Structure 1
Amino acid sequence: MQIEYSPEVEQALNDGRPVVALESTIISHGFPYPKNVELAKEMEAIIRSEGAVPATIAILNGMVTCGLVEEQLLHLAKSETVMKCSVRDLPVAIAGKCTGATTVASTSYIAHKAGIRVFATGGIGGVHKAEEGGRGFDVSADLLELSRTAVAVVAAGAKSILDLPATLEVLESYSVLVVGFKTDKFPAFHSVSSGLNVPATANTIEELSEIVGAHFQMEVPAGMLICNPVPAKDAMSNEEVDELVAKASKEAVASGIKGAAITPYILGALNRLSEGRTSEVNLSLALNNGRVAAQLATALCAR
């Protein structure tokens, strides 16, 4: 697979300096313009402030691109015809010379191919609740990609709309190590804790880098999920989120929303029903994950 690198990212990789991968779906499908550009620039600024280089990944006119310059970022943020690309969609986007935004799965895949070991996102996909759209056991490709791509993904757990116990069970079945950063509970995206235990905890970046470094040294083919809860000052209560999710899910079923369309529909409904509160939480946790990912990437390079 041919990858085009920005000069900054290419130089950092050649020099062995810390690089943090970033997805692009949050830009094209997560926030409207110009909020999406503001978020992207804030994410990159936070990563640079911690001594690492940000590498936002996207497909631009059929070219897999690692590290976006401002003109490319604006094109992605403003365009209304951006494909949402998981791994399975990459050949179609590349062959069709399309512009596509990468998900957690495809960003992990491309980051691994590019030699980037740490990836910051908001929250991963997971197992959908059976009642959503009546489809039963619907599992995100994010979980499968975590099982076969050796990248450390820093996230605020899985999205609140998912079946979190089932998501953890699938991660365990796929041999994906889940590590809580300064927590022994699995975060619930908008909320600090789901109440579910995680199998391992690291209380400092040094402890975390020891675990992640050992994982890479063992050449385990699977990735790792680093669970970094949303800052408590910005978090929503579980009860508040559950009530909003129930309303949004009911709307989705009534509207006949199914499959891959469920997640973006419900997230949009949550933002509307909460009068923008969930988007503010999403922004806070994304920036927090970028900070921790940069610290982890820097610590790994120092080992």
Structure 2
Amino acid sequence: MSCKWWLIILNELRVSVSDEVRNALEEGTPILGLESNVLSHGLPFPKNVELQSACDEAIRSRGVVPAITFIDRGKLCLGATEADLERLTTANNVDKVTSRDIAVQLVRGSLGATSVSASLAICELAGVPIFASAGLGGVHRDYATTMDMSGDLYEIARRRVIVVSAGVKKFLDIPKTVEVLETLNIPAVGFHTSEFPAFYCKSSGVKLGARFDRLADLAKAARNHIELDLGSGFLALVSPSDEIALDHELVESAVQQALARAHAENVRGKDITKYVMRFIDEKTNMRSRDANFEVMVEVVSRGGGISGGTFKGEGKVVWERR
């Protein structure tokens, strides 16, 4: 009886996929996993709709199917319909869900936008090997007193998923974040960059151990790591282009002011990220918000290139489903 009960629970917790994603999984069409939190909590309406459209176009141009992760009506979901996207981009009561919140969110039954950590869990469960997101969570600058470190790092460590990203946001402690990645055995490899990128800033001052200048080489290295089951995910880092990148000193000045203001107003924990980002937006006359948009499109385009495995003038990486 207990065994049958457990099997029923497992069946109920399977990932619910859209028709398009189901067809892609069955036919072996490349898929790129995406978070939904950036649509519900990252950018305001209608900028979030514009972002979704731009990302969708960039991914599909690579011959890849975009698969947004979210939670709805007690189900883990992969692949959003037009109706799903409308709710994720316009509803005011969408919950932010990290990996630690998944179990509770499934019982609540309400609409949940998945962060990086929750998205990685859904991608691995569904058999999607590649995920892209502009900015990851990391170690906060005041870690010694707050012990504040994002669960994103642990999820990358435990999920066999290739993660394509522009690094972590400037207000985090990048040197400590890189140290944690090394401790967790996560390869952090740059594409056209020898420095760990700081989201919409090219320079962080923290050197990477490896870089590739051909997307095909980066894709092969990522595939090697996953197929050899070396015990963690793989982090591919994309630096923002010169046309998009913001000045390091401008952003750092805004970060210092934002963190000081947040401390004075007792803003802590999960509220600090949104607070600081909004402050930086104001101090940069919304240039940081525009850069956020453009960086996301660049990152998913690279992610689509790795997922699709075809690179102009560089041959093809063959991806096989086992």
Task: Output the TM-score relative to the length of structure 1.
Answer: 0.96
Q: How does 1:95-174 map onto structure 2 within 5 Å? A: 95-130=107-142, 135-174=145-184
For the residue of structure 2 that corresponds to 1:240, the secondary structure is helix
* Corresponding residue number in structure 2 for 1:273: 283
The one-letter amino acid paired with 2:287 is R
Deviations 1:26-78 (A, max 9, x none): 00000111111111121111100011000011112222110101111011111
Alignment of 1:215 onto 2:225? yes
CA distance in 2, matches of 1:135, 1:261: 17
CA distance in 1, matches of 2:52, 2:152: 21
CA distance in 2, matches of 1:171, 1:215: 15
Alignment of 1:27 onto 2:39? yes
The one-letter amino acid paired with 2:119 is T
Contact 1:184 1:201 in 2 (8 A): yes
Contact 2:197 2:237 in 1 (8 A): yes
Deviations 1:68-107 (A, max 9, x none): 0111101111111111111110111110101111111111
Alignment of 1:255 onto 2:265? yes
* Corresponding residue number in structure 1 for 2:80: 68
Contact 1:129 1:137 in 2 (8 A): no
Alignment of 1:190 onto 2:163? no
For the residue of structure 2 that corresponds to 1:119, the secondary structure is strand
Q: 2:54 aligns with which of 42, 52, 56?
A: 42
CA distance in 2, matches of 1:155, 1:82: 24
Alignment of 1:245 onto 2:281? no
Alignment of 1:178 onto 2:184? no
For the residue of structure 2 that corresponds to 1:154, the secondary structure is strand
Unpaired runs of at least 5, structure 2: 1-12, 310-316
Deviations 1:141-165 (A, max 9, x none): 0011111001111111111110000
* Corresponding residue number in structure 1 for 2:10: none
The one-letter amino acid paired with 1:205 is L
Deviations 1:242-283 (A, max 9, x none): 001011111111111011111111111111222211111111
Contact 2:185 2:231 in 1 (8 A): no
- Aligned length, in residue pairs: 301
CA distance in 2, matches of 1:78, 1:60: 15
Cα drift, residue 170 of structure 1: 0.4
* Corresponding residue number in structure 1 for 2:314: none
Alignment of 1:288 onto 2:298? yes
CA distance in 2, matches of 1:254, 1:62: 39
Moved over 6 A (4+): none
Cα drift, residue 301 of structure 1: 4.6
Unpaired runs of at least 5, structure 1: none
CA distance in 1, matches of 2:230, 2:24: 25
User: Between the two proteins, what is the percent identity of the paired residues?
Assistant: 34
The one-letter amino acid paired with 2:254 is L
For the residue of structure 2 that corresponds to 1:233, the secondary structure is coil
* Corresponding residue number in structure 1 for 2:234: 224
For the residue of structure 1 that corresponds to 2:189, the secondary structure is strand
* Corresponding residue number in structure 1 for 2:26: 14
Q: Root-mean-square deviation (CA), in Å? A: 1.3
Cα drift, residue 217 of structure 1: 1.6
* Corresponding residue number in structure 2 for 1:54: 66
CA distance in 2, matches of 1:174, 1:94: 29
CA distance in 1, matches of 2:19, 2:64: 15
Task: Output the TM-score relative to the length of structure 2.
Answer: 0.91
